Structures are given as structure tokens and as C-alpha cells.
Amino acid sequence: MRNLELPGRSPVHGTRGMAASSHPLSTLTAITILQKGGNAIDAAVAAIAVQCVVEPGSTGIGGDCFCIIAPKGQDRLIGYNGSGAAPAAATPEWFASQGIAKIERHTPHAVTIPGAVDGWARLVADHGRLPLADVLEPAIGFARDGYPIASRVAFDFANEVATLSKDPTARRIFLPGGRPPTVGQLHRQPELAKTLALIAEKGRDAFYTGPVAEDIVSYLRGLGGLHTLDDFAAHAGEYVTPIRTAYRGYDVCEIPPNGQGLTALILLNILSGYDMGGYAPMSPERLHMEIEATRLAYADRNAFIADPRHATVPVAELLSAGHADALRALITPGKAMKSVPRPQLPAHPDTVYLCVVDEERTAVSFINSLFNGFGSGLVSPKSGVVLQNRGCGFVLDPAHPNCIAGGKRPFHTIIPGMLVKDGRVVMPFGVMGGAYQACGHAHVLGGFLDHGLDIQEAMDQPRVFPTAEGIVEVESGLPAETLHALHRYGHRTGAPGKPQGGGQAIWIDWDEGVLTGGSDPRKDGCALGY
């Protein structure tokens, strides 16, 4: 239990239903939907749709989604991959012919076909109780009538002024009067309200065919993009079987590639060989092990994760005990690796995550993203759709499994998680933050399972993250003695550009019939139960 004399927040408890998200309007929407008779998937989609309005830097209907559902809390997990693909005409040869060596964020080539709307419609139709129109009604109202800018949202707006200034529609909508809206200011998105209302009336086809798709495609092609109306009409997400590994007597479940959930599992497999609970939660010993394991797991991620429909991803080998043993042998306690060995198989960015549990204990772990803040920074002029930059997840090397190809999905950072024990789900969870997410899953689960922190404390703890540039980003709350010890171990540290991610989780106590939720203080949100 936290020290009640110090700043912080306590976990939230309820019995009938609970939601946790990164924005209070989103969390309240989920609870309202549950109380109106909707189930967890209705509530999750309604809440995500609201976040696409009130947290426009983090997510939007021009992005992608992933989801894990546990019907009635049972270990019959349903995974859904709602990520979009590159246009059919996108080939490495075309980019080479144009002299393009890297897909840049503020270009049409960074925009893959958005998968979120298709995913929402399909999940509500297949697993919800309410009509899509009812589910989208709160989001439409906030876009049309306005929403007050929250503190973290204002920070994100201010952080992306340069991005928003590049596009005339983005500048008009998100920089009213030439500057970002401030905390407490009412902000409206009338074009987006009309687009959401059209989707509510006509379903997913209102986004992927007709005026909305025509607006997006014509805008992107005018900028030199390869997108066609056929690319939009052909989009379809897919149901997938979650992958899992064992950690401290629980199964940790993730969506399989093209997302980086596999990375979190590799990382946990490495850490499972250590007595992590023998270290203090903020000790240099614990954080050193997490840093080194993260570096190794992310090297695997960068080498192997791709769209399994277009490349071979050796999931079983990467999750094998032998592979974890080999990686663990590369870690030396108290001494940082000078370089990460080349990955071998055995012989940041913005996002919103939320979770909901309903009265039947159906649990939903849901994540929706544009990738970087405000995605590509490109906004379709008539429909007001902020377009993602997930195409930046591709490489242009034809020999790499994640090389761009027509109809191929890029490597994705967003990962919903689910914790299972004895045939039942005990916790939907997730940690946002671009590349940080896999590391965040391991860090939060470690605090909870290894160190006995409650779910809120596990998210409150300061975070560290080793970047691709060799710098370990360290949040300001880390104890000075721990920071100095990491320096002695050989780690080079620096401050992150913004707080490391954000997260939510809901613990299900099946014996007591109680739900316990936590929500990350790095965002504006909260957990609510009833």
C-alpha cells in the first residue's frame, strides 16, 4: 500500500464493471455504456472512439487497432489484428526508382490504410450488444460540441506544433488562431463529427468507400501517394490466436506479429531465469537486468518481426527456453554490454490503451494508435481524418523480412496484453509509448508479480528504457543512488523527451468478486468502477 502522506493515487475498486483509460472522458464513456446495457466490447470501442476525438495527438480514426477479448473471463482468448497494409502499388523497386531510401513521417508514403474503423465495426457486430450508432454517439458529441483540453493533451499539442504547421488542414483544426489550444480551452472538430456520424449511420463502408475514402485518397495522391480507392475497399482486419509465455505462474498473452508483443514475451523469458523479486523495485540490480534483457529482446524484434502473411517469423524458436538461455548468458550482472550481439536463432510515439471488464467478467484489452504524435501530420481536408504514419515501420531493404510490399502490414509497436491463470483471465493490461511498450509490459508486470506492488504502484514507478542510440532514457523520479550505480555499471543515461508511455490494468479477483483498476499518472486518465 502506498504512503498516504505522499502525492499519488490509490487503485480503484468495483464489483459490477470497470474501465481504465488515459482520458477521464473516455473512462466515463465506457462506464456509461456498461450501465446502459452494453458489454465490455461496446464500452471499449465507445471509449476508444472518444479518445480519437479528445486525444487527437495520440490516436484517431485514421489509425490502427489491436484487441484481445476474453469472453466471460475464460481462457478462450480472441485476438484481433486491425492494422492496415501498404497500398498495392508500394514496392521496394518503386521507391528505389524514385530515389527514396527511407519512408519519412510527413509524406504520403508513411500512410498505410487505416484499420481502426473496420476493426471497431467488426468487433461490435461480432461481440457487442449495442448498435454501432449507439457506441459512436459519445464521440460524435464531443467532436461536434467540443471537449476541454486536458493537461497531457495540451502538452502533446504543444510538442507537435511543427508537425501540425506543415499541413493546412491540420493547422486550421489543431492550431486555432495559429497556436495550440491550452489547458481548459474548448476544442471542436466539426469535420470529424460529420465523418463519425456517417460511419454511425452507414457502418464501416462509410469510411472505406464513398466520399470519405475519396477525400483521403485524392488528398494523398495529390501529394504523390500510391493509394487507391481499391486499396481502401479491400481492407479487412483479421482474427488471430494470441501467443503466450509463462511468467511467475501466469500466462502472459500478446497479439502475434506484425506487432511487437513477441518482444515482450522474449524479454520476460530472459528475466524469468533471475530472482527478480530478490532485488528492491528501484534497485540498480533490477533495472540493469531489465535494460540488458530489453536490448537483447529488441535486437530480435528488429531482425525478425514482420507481417507473417509475407515473411516467415520464427515465433516458436524465439519463444523457446533454449533461446532465452542463450540470451541470458550474454548478460553480466553489474556490467553493461558494450554492444548488442547480432541476433541468432537457436540450432516512440503515441498511442492510447484502455481495458474494460463487464459484469459477466468479459475482459477487453484494446489499443488504438496513429504512431507518432498526430501521426503523419496529414489531415484529409473534407473529412478531418488525421492519418497515421505506420508506413515508417517498414524498411526498404528487399532482403529484410519487414521490407515494404503491396498489401503488406508494417511492423507495429502497439500491443494489448492479457494475464491468465488457471484457465481464467486475471488482468487485461497495456502500456503505451511507441517502442517502449514491450519494455513497459515487462517492467509493470515485474513490479506487480515480482515485487508485490499493487497495480497502481507498479505503474507509478519511474521507468528506464535503452534506446537504439545506446542511451538509457531515465525518468526524473529515479533515485539518485540508483542512477549513479547504473553509471558505474557502464550505462550512459539521458532524460526522455516526454514521460515514458502510460498504462492501464484491471485485476479480477474471482474469489472476492472484486475488480481493481489502475491508470498511469503520465496521462490524464483514470480508472473507474461501479
Rg (CA), the chain: 22
Query: Which residues fall within 8 angstroms of residue 88, CB to CB, at 6 or more apart?
Result: 226, 228, 230, 231, 406, 407
Q: Is 161 exposed, middle or buried (0-12, 13-18, 19+ CB in 10 A)?
A: middle
Rounded Cα gap, residues 354 and 369, in angstroms:
12
- Where do runs of H (alpha helix) occur along 359-479? 437-445, 455-460
Could you give the dihedral angle defined by the CA atoms of residues 148, 153, 154 and 157, in that order, rounded to the nearest 10 degrees? -120
Give residues with Cβ within 8 angstroms of 186, minimum separation 6: 146, 147, 148, 149
d(CA 113, CA 120): 15
Q: Using the structure block, give the residue that is written with the C-alpha cell 504512431.
A: 371
- Residue 101's identity, in one-letter code, is A
Strand partners, 354: 366
Q: How many CA atoms lie within 13 A of 230 on its CB side?
A: 6
Q: What is the DSSP letter of 334?
A: T
Count of Cβ atoms closer than 10 Å to residue 186 Cβ: 10
Catalytic residue flag (residue 362): no
Return d(Cα 337, Cα 334) in angstroms, integer.
Answer: 10
Single-letter amino acid, residue 469? E
d(Cα 136, Cα 194) in Å, to the nearest integer?
Answer: 12
Residue 74's φ and ψ, nearest 5 degrees, are -85, 155
Q: How far is CA 178 from CA 56, 60, 170, 181, in A?
A: 17, 22, 11, 9
Q: Can you tell me the distance from the alpha carbon of 310 to that of 407, in angstroms, rounded to the nearest whole number?
A: 9
Cβ 252 vs Cβ 244: under 8 Å:
yes
Residues composing the chain? 530
292, 390 Cβ separation under 8 angstroms:
no
58 touches 22 (CB < 8 A):
yes
From CA 179, how far away is CA 184, in angstroms rounded? 15
For 107, list phi and psi in degrees, rounded to 5: -125, 160
Active-site hit among 91, 112, 169, 351: 351
Q: Catalytic site residues?
A: 351
